[in-house]
Amino acid sequence: MSNSLVTDIFSLPADQAWKCILEDLWVIFSEPVRNDLADAQTTERDRLSAKLDNLLSGAAWEMWNSLETDTLRTSKELKVFWAGRNQGKAVLVLDALSLRESPLILAEARSRGYTIHQQRPTTSEIPGNTTPFAKALGFGQRSNLANNKGNSADFPGAWTEVSNMPFADCAGTIKADPNIFFWHEWPDSEMHHLADENGYRNLAKSAVQKLCSDDFWLFVEKLTTGRNLVITGDHGYAHSGLFPDVTNKDQSDYLKSNFKSGRVAPSSSSDKPHYWVPPLTRILESEHGSSEIVLGRRKWKSQGGYPSLTHGGLSLLEVTVPFIEISK
């Protein structure tokens, strides 16, 4: 993190400061990785981005108040993409796709002859969970997309599906419909089964196996036949195994009582924030209501220990996702 970025965060208007933050984050995470070292290299990038996270939680926490209004939200950018194309178009949402996986997609797209029209980070809803994203898209909830039942005024004419089938099987479901919105439950579906200390290592290896596989790119080929395709996620995730422990007993008790092993809880606009400075959490109002959300990189022991992979909180890799448009 450069001194100029620190200066920008504290001196620029919020929208410009967020633009600088996200550009810096994209530079860190979009660079190519070696497939056999992806877990180690992305973990190192995660550690590198911690400096920026710690600044935002330890000194510039007011920035989070403007995340919803002053960044390019994925839901809005998808609507712009959909409305701006009269010809074939498709969206592939990979649930919990984070910036860590972006270099795998970019490298494979290039090597397989795809044109990359845009590549950048966009941001999740507040809170960064699946249902708020589905609501922001006009679908209500993820499951409503199943069996072409998704009905959103923002995505007219979309053939919709949600699935956790292998990618090769998903490819077989794609027909000649000109406009497609497909939501796949991976990697979130796998992430929740990887709670131990090796969880991220296993997830990173799985990401290489899946995103670099012929099965996945057969699926992409089907989606891009006569269509431009955006690959993105509804939210990212935290490799919380890297987070420091909350050692203050009062603070850990507060987090355990309010959040259990999660990172977000419903709140009321009348709720008063706790007295700690820097704060442990932020109470944020969004179009999805009021939520109290854990701020920054911190973990605490709850029943069952520490989840090593999680989402919903206010750290950069939880609220940012890749937004990649390709065609062939």
pLDDT tens digit string along 117-157? 999 999 999 999 999 999 999 999 999 999 999 999 999 99
Query: Is 26 within the bounds of a domain?
Result: no
Number of folded domains in the chain? Answer: 1
How confident is the model over 88-118, as pLDDT tens digits? Answer: 999 999 999 999 999 999 999 999 999 999 9
Least confident interval from 126-140, 169-183, 289-303: 289-303
Query: Is 145 within the bounds of a domain?
Result: yes
Q: Rounded CA gap, 302 and 306, in Å? A: 7
Q: Are strands 320-327 and 115-123 parallel, antiparallel or unpaired?
A: antiparallel
Cα dihedral angle (162, 165, 171, 176), rounded to 10 degrees?
-30
In one letter, which amino acid is 72?
Answer: L
Burial class (CB in 10 A: 0-12, 13-18, 19+), 165: middle
Query: Is 173 within the bounds of a domain?
Result: yes
Query: Is 179 within the bounds of a domain?
Result: yes
How confident is the model over 253-269, as pLDDT tens digits? Answer: 999 999 998 999 998 75
Question: Given pLDDT bands bounded at 50, 70 and 90, which one contains residue 73?
Answer: very high
Query: Is 40 within the bounds of a domain?
Result: no
Query: Is 19 within the bounds of a domain?
Result: no
Query: Is 5 within the bounds of a domain?
Result: no
Peptide bond into 266 cis (omega under 30): no
Query: Is 31 within the bounds of a domain?
Result: no
Q: What is the pTM of this model?
A: 0.96
Rounded to 5°, the CA angle 302-306-309 comes to 130
In one letter, which amino acid is 327?
Answer: S
Residues with Cβ within 8 Å of 201's Cβ and at least 6 positions away in sequence, in order, are 39
Domain that holds residue 129: 72-238+317-327
